[in-house]
Structure 1
Amino acid sequence: MSEHNSANREQNESIIKLSFHADGLLPNNPQLAAVLYKGVLRDHPEDTEQIFNNNGWLNSWVNGVFPYHHYHSNAHEVLGVISGSASLQLGGDAGYTAEVEAGDVVALPAGTAHKKLSATPDFRIAGAYPGGMDYNTRQANADDFAAALLEIREVPLPERDPVYGEAGPLLRLWK
């Protein structure tokens, strides 16, 4: 982790707040931190996609994570591990390597870079977007970076936490 990026545990040991800065090719989010919920759905990871949908995070899918840095500049994204485990690089090369497993959830504000470094063969993850927003996929290049800086500012805050709904920590952390 570089001096420009930070990881802080919030409230309790299961919520980790991760802040990242732009690196010239990956914008990350200048105002909102990524939030890692460790083990929050450990007892029922197979329900991850439904829990997101029940909390208004829609346009969901189940698959994996691209093995290259990418981000969504026009929508926030939540990822929840359904099965297996993986190492995910968050925030670019100078960011944070998150070791995630079934039951873990990561909320990524618009612009936050992420990529899969490695995964077990059974790794499956659900993704969703607040209000079912359509999302783009941008990569680490100068053209995408310039366009993304404008788009990130326009993305509205979600109305509900993807896991806890109206009472979740994401709403407080993303004020």
Structure 2
Amino acid sequence: MNTRISKKSVLAVLAVGLAPIALAGPAQAATVVTHDGCTITVDAPLFTNHFNAGGAKLFDYVYHLTCAASPGGVSVEVKQDRDESDLVGRAGDPDAPDELTGSSTQNLSFAAAGQTRNVTVRAVLPAVNDDTDVPLEMYQATKIRVTSGAVQGSWSVQAISASRALTP
């Protein structure tokens, strides 16, 4: 019996064993999340030339929700948070002191055939910003919970949009 192991064999085994560790870097926020047969995609907020009655700019927070065909159809609860990022380009960083500026919840029903909905939530930018930077780096963090018949699913992880610098 040959008990001699070559350096190449040892290195190959170590490389295969360490590969999952090397690939497991810091988690990055996803703009697309699939959960329980539905997929949500979130866009960065955008000014589309709309104003409220007082003349303040309104900003659009858009998401796209697609649900696969299901015999009885499904209903989806969508929880959307609107935040101001204190670190440009790192929206949703759990270590950043981001400010929640608003939230909303929508309930959408999808027929048995499945379909896609494009939803726009319009909101005014926050009046107060604790780090006094302008423009504001706004983003949305959105999650879904799917209900099929009497069975209610769990909440998905958040789909987090890129941040966009917006000026009130």
**Fold match (TM-score > 0.5):** no
Kindly name which structure, 1 or 2, has the bigger radius of gyration based on alpha carbons. 2
Q: Which has the higher strand share?
A: 2
After TM superposition, the score normalised by the length of structure 1 is 0.30
Which structure shows the bigger proportion of residues in helix conformation? 1
Using the size of structure 2 for normalisation, the TM-score is 0.31
